[in-house]
Amino acid sequence: MNIGEAAARSGVSAKMIRHYEAIGLIGAVRSANGYRVYGERDVAVLRFIRHARDLGFPLEDVRRLLALWQDRNRASAEVKRLALAHVAALESKADSLRRMAASLRHLAAHCHGDDRPDCPILDDLARKD
Amino acid sequence: MNIGEAAARSGVSAKMIRHYEAIGLIGAVRSANGYRVYGERDVAVLRFIRHARDLGFPLEDVRRLLALWQDRNRASAEVKRLALAHVAALESKADSLRRMAASLRHLAAHCHGDDRPDCPILDDLARKD
DNA sequence: CTGGCCCTTCCCAATATGGGAAGGTCAAGG
DNA sequence: CCTTGACCTTCCCATATTGGGAAGGGCCAG
């Protein structure tokens, strides 16, 4: 199958498939006319990548997970370690976002939101520290 | 004062100050030798930008907030609207990260994490949907 | 054989920040 | 007076991810 069908079946855009090939994440076989040719196995790999990306894994992590997935003799410990490190990073980022939202919500609560120019949000942004 | 001191006093790197000037977020006066020259007012503006960035405002929002801050006749309604829209975006992003972390944590909990190759994390990433 | 769709490569865009090279300027001290 | 080191300048490149679009070639049905 050509790149368009592989894209449709994997949920990864053709643009991204070419990109993943360019950065060495996946390989590609070419037919006589230069078109990329894919099989079921490639579609499965692309789906794997998409799911990992959906979980927020950066491509470098995806590269490692993919190597582990394709290694019949891998140890699950390595996968678990990678996953838990990523969970911690995700949760820390989520906390930081919630803290930002909370402080901004607090500032907004004290801004009357009418035609007057006073606004504690701007006052806070202008603080000296 | 030169860019180095303005950077140290505002907490914005010299690199970023030049960038903010390049994209028209701030202006700059040059002395005879071509060096950028800043005053107290500029340091306050840079600090304003840094605080807004710390709260996660993208630069385009910062541009609008800055205009509102510098406008003596602004209405606080606009600031509040911008802030609350941003709060909603932050919270939605935080939720999405927490959902990712939860599902990954769930998968990791069922991965024994030893020398055996079986691992539900990889199995899930390889699923067909 | 022609129209329309698919494929190719290559360039550019956005987000924000930083590294580093090559060269100009200025102040202090030998 | 000249050297040295710290500071400044501009310009290019890099990160990570995805997409838009142009220019050109391939392939099949009507």
Query: What is the secondary structure of A63-83 as a DSSP string?
Result: HHHHHHHH-TT--HHHHHHHH
Handedness of CA A28, A32, A34, A40 (dihedral sign): negative
Of A51, A81, A111, which is closest to B125 when you measure between CB atoms? Answer: A51
Judged against a pLDDT cut of 70, whether residue A98 lies above it is answered with yes
Q: What CA–CA distance (Å, rounded) separates B50 from B11? A: 7
Confidence of residue B123 (pLDDT cuts 50, 70, 90): confident
Asked if residue A97 and residue A49 are part of one domain, the reply reads no
**8 Å CB contact between A11 and A50:** yes
pLDDT in tens, A84-96: 888 888 888 888 8
**Inter-chain CB proximity B127 and A47 less than 8 Å:** yes
Residue B17 maps to a domain: yes
Confidence of residue B15 (pLDDT cuts 50, 70, 90): very high
**8 Å CB contact between A17 and A47:** no
Confidence of residue B31 (pLDDT cuts 50, 70, 90): very high
> How many structural domains comprise chain B?
2
Residue B67 maps to a domain: no
Q: Which two tokens stand for residue B16?
A: 């970023």
pLDDT in tens, A9-34: 999 999 999 999 999 999 989 999 99
The residue behind tokens 């993943």 is: A20
Residue A4 maps to a domain: yes
Asked if residue B129 and residue B82 are part of one domain, the reply reads yes
Query: Which residues, 6 or more positions from B68, have their beta carbon under 8 angstroms from its beta carbon?
Result: A122, B74, B78, B79, B82
Nearest nucleotide from residue B36 CA, by C1' atom: D8
Output the average pLDDT for chain B.
88
The residue behind tokens 């678990």 is: A80
Asked if residue A81 and residue A128 are part of one domain, the reply reads yes
Give the pLDDT of residue B86. Answer: 84
Structural domain containing residue B26: 1-53
Q: What CA–CA distance (Å, rounded) separates A101 from B22? A: 29
